[in-house]
Amino acid sequence: MRIFYQLNSSFRISKKYICNMKKLLKTVLIIFPLFGFCQTWDQLSNFSGDGRHHPITFSNDEYGFVISGSYNDDVYKYDKANDLWIQLQDIPFSGRGYSYGVAIGNKAYIGFGSTSNGQYPVDWWQYDMDNDVWNQKSNFPGDGRQHPAMIVVNNKIYMGCGGNGNGNLGDWWEYDVLTDTWLQKSDLIANQRHHPFYFGIGDYAYVGFGHGSNPGPGSNSTGSYIYNDFYKYDPTNDSWIQMANFPSEARVAGTQFSYNGKGYILSGDGDDHGPLSSGEFWEYNPLNDSWNQLQSHPGGAIWAPGNFVIGCNVYFLLGQDWNTNMGTYPTTVYSYKLSDDCGCTDNIAFNFSALATFDDGSCCYVSGCTDPLALNYNNLSCYDDGSCITPILGCTDASASNFDPNANTTVAFGGALDNTFASGGFFNGDQHLNFSASKECIIKSAMVYSEANNTITFELRNSGGTVIDDTTLTISSGQQTIDLNFNVPVSNDMQLGVSQGALQTSGLYRNNSNANYPYNIATAIDITSSSANTDPYSYYYFFYDIEVEILCDDISSGLNILNSNKKLIKYVDVLGRTNNLSNNLLFYIYDDGTVEKKIIIE
């Protein structure tokens, strides 16, 4: 059970400081291996349900599934081909926390965990992923428990460890899918524990790390009792063998999977039950009992996340983020390509891969500019051909007095395009974005995410906090684009925010990590940081997809009514005169009742 976060905030900060210093020293001593091919994390569409910890996650060849977690009873399916989340029918049993499931073909098996009223159910369920159908199977005959290990080996399911109201457990069980029967096997040959890391490779199950009740390998002197020992189970003779201890910090409460003959562990808490210094990602090779560190996932380490594997990609999501002492629930989803075995196998596609042996449906036949901020962005393109044109904001009318010969657009967008780049949440304070403007311009609009219906005064302020321009708007709950129309002077360190106390009743969304300053908007504006007291270069406040415009001044070098459908009746100066009008302000009066102001300069 997660008990350490009941401590007060000051204690957690102290622990985190000490832990991070310790990890920094360790990092200096580790030499990280080079990757065999380009491996990076890609951000996908956010999970469409509520954030949660301990989601039950699994997949088949086409879809990933998220079930329950944090005592919810909902079910979601991820469509990889369309990067889309679909909600399915709710589970037919009570919402679960700290529960797990595994997949065998197109069937998943789910159970254990705890309910919101503190019970430890022993019901056991089969889920048909193809038809969204549930079938109850034989109840587990042993003690109910939460966050056990659960592993598939040769179409049998092995389950053990975990904990309940009586403490930690170390027993081990086999479930036969064909006969729907449970059989107790030999206990783990180590300290009892809950929330271990685990995976199946070939004919063996592997279990290790986790949180126990007594000192053990890897545990420190804080009393957390987090381990780094590791064990292999052989079902053929019901025996355990201890493997080499994990070569880095002891850990607990992450997520795990196996792929192509190797095991993987991802994120979680360190040996003080506080977040690891990053979302660490490790690969285990059973051939030589060795570990290899890969690229950490974006953002900070996450407690009790989930994952599923489709094709050659692992998808990482959900859990709880304790890096800011707020316990937020991220809904961002990241994908990581595990090998080049998957890819486009069609040699006429732009992204054909000669290394791919399995076609993952990624073949791209439309090339163009894929940068959404470029002038020639093509939302149908899936392959970037290098043709993107960088926007340069300014007046493009050669007859205007503020004509900019370098400009190629009068309107541009920038800042963070949306809130999906990292975790975050609704915020009720008075923070803002800091920016400088090198050209006079107008901040026309921005996208915001509101927690509820509200009336908010949005402000443009100078470097000293004095209001330059403001507007009061009634906004609705959710995502929307608001009109600001702020006239921005050339100046440094201006502020884009809200009036003091405007968000007390309901907040606006802001990201709390992974901002990518500076955000340059078409050479006119640079958003340089946030006003966050701590880590101002990680937070991003309120204003997304900001629209900026530069108007051409209303100055003409002569009459130009050839293309107008309206008829000029007359033009006069401010005194009503119709003669000797050069270099004066004139009023052009048309037959449709409109009047234009112009100056003829000679």
pLDDT tens-digit map of 102-157: 999 999 999 999 999 999 999 999 999 999 999 999 999 999 999 999 999 999 99
Which of 319, 343, 367 finishes a domain? 343
- CB count in 10 Å sphere of residue 350: 16
Do 499 and 427 belong together in one domain?
yes
| Same domain? 120 vs 226 | yes
CB-count exposure of residue 594 (10 Å: 0-12, 13-18, 19+): exposed
Q: Among the three residues 511, 528, 549, which one is the final residue of a domain in this structure?
A: 549
Hey, is 315 helix, strand or coil? Answer: strand
Query: Domain containing 602: what range?
Result: 556-602
- Clarify whether residues 562 and 536 are in a common domain: no
- pLDDT digit string, tens, across residues 40-95: 899 999 999 999 999 999 999 899 999 999 999 999 999 998 899 999 999 999 99
Buried b (16+ CB within 10 A) or exposed e, 166-184: eebbbbbbbbebeeeebee
pTM over 0.85: no
**Does one domain contain both 439 and 318?**
no
CATH of the domain at 427: 2.60.120
The per-residue pLDDT for 325 is: 73
68 and 15 within one domain: yes
pLDDT at 590: 67
User: Is the same domain home to 190 and 60?
Assistant: yes
At residue 588, the pLDDT reads 66
251 with 307, same domain? yes
pLDDT of residue 467: 96
Asked whether residue 376 is assigned to any structural domain, the reply reads no
The predicted pLDDT at position 20 comes to: 40
Instruction: Please state, as a whole number, how many other Cβ atoms lie within 10 Å of the Cβ of residue 2.
Output: 20
Both tokens of residue 514? Answer: 């992974």
The residue ranges of the chain whose pLDDT is under 70 are 1-39, 221, 554-588, 590-591, 593-602
Number of domains in the chain: 3
The contacts of residue 117 (CB under 8 Å, 6+ apart) are: none
The pair of three-digit structure tokens given for residue 417, joined into one six-digit string:
């395009």
Measured in Å, how far apart are the chain's first and last C-alpha atoms?
A: 84
Q: Specify the pLDDT at position 434.
A: 98
Could you tell me if residue 404 is inside a domain? no
Return the closest-CA partner of residue 74 out of 98, 99, 102, 93.
93
pLDDT of amino acid 292: 96
For 9-39, letters b (16+ CB in 10 Å) and e give eeebeebbeebeebbeeeeeeeeeeeeeeee
The pLDDT of residue 24 is 39
Query: In whole angstroms, how far apart are CA 359 and each of 42, 62, 312, 340?
Result: 19, 12, 10, 11
Q: Which amino acid is at 397?
A: D
CATH number of the domain residue 229 falls in: 2.120.10.80
Q: What percent of the residues of the chain are helix, what percent strand, and what percent coil, each to the nearest 5?
A: 5, 40, 55
Residue 398 located in a structural domain: no
Q: Which of 510, 525, 549 is the last residue of a domain?
A: 549
| Contact in structure between 425 and 321 (CB atoms under 8 Å) | no
Looking at the fold, whether 430 and 457 belong to one and the same domain comes out as: yes
